[in-house]
Amino acid sequence: MLKRRDAAGFNLAFLDVMACGLGAVILIFMLVKFNAATSTPSDEETRLQAEIAQQQALAEQLTRLLDNNNQQLTDTQRAADSKQMQIDALSEQARQTQQAAADKSAVLANLEKAVAAAAPKQADDPLALKGKGEERYLLGLKVEGRQIGILLDNSASMADEKLIDILRYKVSSNAERQTAPKWQRSKRAAKWLLARLPAEAKVTLFAFNQQPTQLGPSAQLAANDAKALGQLAQQIDQLVPEQGTNLQAALMAIKQANPAMDHLYIITDGLPTLGVQDAQLKKLRQCPSLYSGGSTIDGNCRLILFGHSVRQAAFQNVSVNVVLMPLEGDPDAAQAYWNWTSNNGGMLLSPAEGWP
């Protein structure tokens, strides 16, 4: 028969184990409860609060930046609206200006038609000229005065405006030079002046190149003497453009022929190239070619000679008008003649290619 084992030792050990286990469980609960009441570590909380504060500051900064941008956008929109209003106002002003210009153009066109309709017919002029209506009149140039002088330049340069063509005409026949286009215009300009003389006026006409030549049967011709003016026109047609230009001699000659002259009309194309050989001319020492027989003269000396010629003529109470034909290589002529005419109550005209 088997012996029964003694279970006393087993029962004691099991109770001990169970008691220890129960104590461990109780300890765990106590520890868990203690940790549940413990707060978050202070370093982590500080870091999180700093991040929150930083994000709030960034949000506030972005809000201020957005407000500034909105304000700038508002200001820009206001400025744009103001500029648009200015543009609209200027556009309206431009429209009104264009309308006014169109109205004035229409009025001017009507006036031109009226002038053309009222222009005297060819039969009313002392000389018969080709053309009709406003084609025969030049706006701004009016022939007036009681004692009128006319100087027609018939020097070699009056044949053409280009230097190469002027040289070609110099070796051409007289018949070819007389038919040169520029010279034909110059002769028509002289006849245009004769045809516009006031009825009560008297006229003195000189052609001039190296020397002045009086045209007409006498020094002073009556403007209403159609026969005498016809003779003048014939003599103009016989002139030949040749030699140099002595403006001083021409001015002195016409002044002597008509001392009472009150209006002077000059048809030329540039500054003079010759002067009167006297002691006064020799005082222009900077231009020895003027009195030493030189064959050429530069532009500066031509300008000096022009001033000398005007001073020697010493016109007083004479309105000087110049019809300046085109000429290549004489850039100072227009300014010099403009100064002279404006100082003497006259005007300078550079006519268009089709005039007269």
Task: For residues 100 and 222, state if they share a domain.
Answer: no
Q: What SS3 class is residue 275?
A: coil
Q: How many domains does the chain have?
A: 2
**Domain contains 55:** yes
- The residue from 93, 118, 143 where one domain ends is 118
Task: For residues 239 and 344, state if they share a domain.
Answer: yes
Task: For residues 88 and 218, state if they share a domain.
Answer: no
Give the DSSP H or E segment for 233: helix 226-238
Paired tokens of 145: 């005065």
Over its C-alpha atoms, the chain yields an Rg (Å, rounded) of 53
Task: For residues 114 and 168, state if they share a domain.
Answer: no
Angle at CA 143, nearest 5°, toward 142 and 146? 135
Q: How far is CA 142 from CA 13, 113, 137, 145, 340, in A?
A: 151, 19, 9, 10, 18
DSSP codes, 8-57: HHHHHHHHHHHHHHHHHHHHHHHHHHHHHTSPPPHHHHHHHHHHHHHHHH
Q: Are 302 and 327 in contact (CB under 8 A)?
A: no
Q: Are 145 and 198 in contact (CB under 8 A)?
A: yes
Task: For residues 217 and 329, state if they share a domain.
Answer: yes
Task: For residues 186 and 321, state if they share a domain.
Answer: yes
Distance CA(160)–CA(242), nearest Å, equals 12
**Which pTM does this prediction carry?**
0.63
Q: How far is CA 243 from the centre of its chain?
A: 37
Q: What is the mean pLDDT of each run of 10 residues along the chain (356 residues)?
A: 51 70 77 55 80 87 88 89 89 86 76 58 49 45 92 95 92 93 94 91 96 92 90 93 94 95 96 88 81 76 92 92 92 94 92 73
Residue range 57-110, pLDDT digits in tens: 888 888 888 888 889 888 888 888 888 998 988 888 888 888 888 877 777 777
Which residues form the domain of 214?
134-349
Q: Find residue 202's DSSP bridge partners.
A: 147, 222
Task: For residues 239 and 263, state if they share a domain.
Answer: yes
**Can you point out the beta strands (E) in the chain?**
147-153, 202-208, 212-215, 221-222, 263-268, 319-324, 348-349
